[in-house]
Amino acid sequence: MLRRFIYPLALWLSWAGMASAQTVDEQLLAAQMAYQQANSQLTQANARLEQARQAKTLAEQRLADAQMALQRTDEELTAATSGQAAASQSMDTVAKGLDEAWKRKEGGQ
């Protein structure tokens, strides 16, 4: 009677041991797959981060270039405005001189 009980118990324990070993293997495989997936996601995130950093650096350089171009354009605008004011004043002076010359010519005839 004891033999009937012990043999199936030993068989069951042996099967349970194999089943738990298989479960451990499955758990190990699942953990390895999860690790590989997480590693892949980390690699992709690192690549995206690097691309974003490079894009930011490029955008900052473009912004600095645009600010310098704006400053040069402002300086050119200021110089052109001053030049136009001087030319306008000169034109007014010359026009008055021309008018006076015509008046003298007409008055002298």
Separation in Å, CA 14 to CA 10, 19, 24, 28, 84:
6, 9, 15, 21, 102
- Overall pTM surpassing 0.75 (yes/no): no
Q: How far apart are CA 48 and CA 44, in angstroms?
A: 6
Averaged over 61-67, what is the pLDDT?
A: 99
pLDDT computed for residue 14 by the predictor:
58
Taking only the tens place, the pLDDT of each residue in 84-93 is 999 999 999 9
Confidence (pLDDT) at 36: 96
pLDDT value at residue 107:
87
pLDDT tier, 22 (very low <50, low <70, confident <90, very high otherwise): confident
